Structure 1
Amino acid sequence: MTKSIAFAEYGSADVLRLQDTELPQPGPGQVRIAVRAAGVNPLDHKMRAGLMKDAFPVELPHVPGAEASGVIEAVGEDVAGLVVGDEVFGRTVTGAYAEQAVADASMLTLKPDTLGWEQAAAIPVAAETSYRTLGLLGVRTGETLLIHGAAGGVGTVTVQLAVARGVKVIGTASEGNHQHLRDLGAVPVSYGDGLAERVRAVAPDGVDAALDTSGQPAALAASIELTGGTERVVEIGNPMAAGEFGVRFSTGGPGEYQGEAAYEEVLALFAAGKLELPIHAAYPLARAADAQRASEAGHLTGKIVLTV
């Protein structure tokens, strides 16, 4: 048996419970990892609240979490390149809010010794989402990119990848996170009424593309106004708003996932000292409810993780 966090009904963070579960067994092409840290993402609390049950139906009780770092403890058939004892990070198949989780070997990467467990757990979703959406937007050197929710886990990595590619980045965030964005190389602006005017003030030549991580309809409306249309606007936080405004919603599902290339770029920047992976807060597994409450409250600087 092993321990995990699960919810048996939709609701507030109070529905999350620590439970004993059967030890998961890896199938062909899979490995089981002893989780050292797991990433907490906005999708986790949206699924727990039932807001995504149509787009992402799950069987209850459900163990949240889609990314983790840890040590391989068991290897299934047809796995090459990974062995028991390897330290890895990546996307998981079973819920990552657990002491043990199963992952497809193809979605894991060896963890460098210079990368801590918490930092490694903060990479998978943020790196793959950043790399994928920058590709979808077709952002090029010298262009200007607007990122909503730029101080969060995904935003922090996207800002740095874009800046490293020679892109001017404008990031929306609360006042308390403006210095964080400046340190990453972005120009911060406050969200809320008058956003478009504030962006124009710092980007007199206009905005070429926009990424919304916040899921706020007002952010999408401003993005379309500033870029001059829907073609170069991508939404990752709210499929309903994306449909309403006619912009692309991207999840990284089948046919979209680009983890291997994303990890390669992020790890190269990290090794060169050109990428920061700030941890907003780390909670022990048993306090997963508190971690999700903090995620829902927003105003994050970097990533929230669970430690095991």
Structure 2
Amino acid sequence: MHAVVLREFGSAENLRYETVPDPEPGPGQVRIAVRAAGVHFIETVMRAGAASDLAPPLPELPAVLGGEVAGVVDAVGPGVDASWLGRAVVTASGTPGGYAELAVAGVEQVYPLPRGLGFQDAVAMVVTGATAVGLLDIAGITADDVVLVTSAAGGVGRLVVQHALAVGATVVGAAGGPAKAEAVRKLGAEAVDYRADGWDDTVRHLLGADRPVTVVLDGVGGALAATAFELIGDGGRFVSVGAASQVGFTPASDRVAHVDALLDLLARPGDRPGYERRALDAGARGDLVPAVQSFPLSHAAEVHAALERRETTGKVVLVP
């Protein structure tokens, strides 16, 4: 089969499209003929060999990155019912090996594709969508809230914006660059370009002097999060879900409630399957609609480079 192999930590060019032996499913596993493989920004950090408290442990080399795939089961291991053969499935096993034409996963971590949900959208929902669902549960957004979403054009951000609008909240999305800001406006939210000087003053102007932000949903961290925090009125909530900037942010003020949603979700791994199922079902119903950018599997190196340059929007997917 073909796979994208990392043999040395470093730049995106270290991802090589190669021919490698087919993986065989072990006990309790299925093998999936991959139709779509998800790509996460954190995988660019892992590829570079940058150890971080915000990233999973570095893989042993050589490695095939990617922990979420959708496709069709083409083989089963010992102890797995043969009825899985030929079924369309999606998994967020977290086990490396997704950037490939074939991948294995534990059968207990595999979900049949809900009716009406395609392979690429399933990959977009099973992790990114589940994170959004968990974040929204924690944030508890209502129609009375004024919500600021950082990285609003990203995979999680777009889904959060959709939900907040659906419950009747006022929503401002902050995105990097005019094109991404326009993509957020097309969802129905107000939008600002956080790369522009004085973007926080633009938010104040959009909302009016007497209407502060009540909730910030942040997935960026660093200076952007610090600026967003200052827009929250007393008694508001700052909810963080990771730090794409690789710089954490912890508010040094008790006038606003701070929740680290990522740590909260990681502390309750037993809740994860429920979030994954809810996200897949929401995608199948059309309640949450992911934006997907798909690229050939052989272009994985270029995709990683584009992610690092912040040139992508929505969920990035590789297609064998």
TM-score, with normalisation over the residues of structure 2?
Answer: 0.83
Q: 2:312: which partner in 1?
A: 300
Deviations 1:268-290 (A, max 9, x none): 4444444332223x221111111
> 5+ residue gaps in structure 2?
253-257
Q: Which amino acid aligns with 2:23?
A: P
Counterparts of 1:24 and 1:294, CA distance in 2 = 29
Deviation at 1:207, TM superposition (A): 1.7
The answer to whether structure 1 residue 290 and structure 2 residue 302 are counterparts is yes
Q: 1:152: which partner in 2?
A: 154
Identify if the C-alpha distance between structure 1 residues 121 and 235 changes in structure 2 by more than 3 Å, giving closer, same or farther.
closer
Q: 1:140: which partner in 2?
A: 142
Alignment check: 8 A CA contact 2:143 2:169 kept: yes
Q: Which moved more, 1:7-16 or 1:245-254?
A: 245-254
Alignment check: 8 A CA contact 2:214 2:237 kept: no
Counterparts of 1:124 and 1:302, CA distance in 2 = 14
Deviation at 1:36, TM superposition (A): 0.8
The answer to whether structure 1 residue 119 and structure 2 residue 137 are counterparts is no
Secondary structure, aligned partner of 1:208: strand
Deviation at 1:236, TM superposition (A): 1.2
Q: Which moved more, 1:160-169 or 1:250-259?
A: 250-259
Percent identity between the aligned chains? 36
Counting only pairs closer than 5 Å after superposition, residues 1-308 of structure 1 correspond to structure 2 as: 2-52=1-51, 55-57=55-57, 58-76=59-77, 83-92=84-93, 93-173=95-175, 174-192=177-195, 193-204=197-208, 205-215=211-221, 217-227=222-232, 228=234, 232-238=238-244, 241-242=247-248, 245=251, 248=260, 250=262, 253=266, 255-256=268-269, 258-280=271-293, 282-308=294-320
Q: Which amino acid aligns with 1:242?
A: G
Deviation at 1:238, TM superposition (A): 4.5
Deviations 1:48-72 (A, max 9, x none): 1223456432212221112111111
Counterparts of 2:83 and 2:107, CA distance in 1 = 7
Identify if the C-alpha distance between structure 1 residues 238 and 286 changes in structure 2 by more than 3 Å, giving closer, same or farther.
closer
- Of the two, which has the highest radius of gyration? 2
> 5+ residue gaps in structure 1?
none
Q: Which amino acid aligns with 1:225?
A: E
Q: Which amino acid aligns with 1:176?
A: A
Deviations 1:91-140 (A, max 9, x none): 13232101111223343322235333222222222101111222233333
Alignment check: 8 A CA contact 1:137 1:234 kept: no
Q: Which moved more, 1:154-163 or 1:123-132?
A: 154-163
Q: Which moved more, 1:9-18 or 1:191-200?
A: 191-200
Counterparts of 1:265 and 1:15, CA distance in 2 = 36
TM-score, with normalisation over the residues of structure 1?
Answer: 0.85
Deviation at 1:306, TM superposition (A): 0.7
Counterparts of 1:284 and 1:151, CA distance in 2 = 22
Counterparts of 1:257 and 1:234, CA distance in 2 = 20
Superposition RMSD in Å:
2.9
Q: Which amino acid aligns with 1:189?
A: V
Q: Which moved more, 1:185-194 or 1:18-27?
A: 18-27
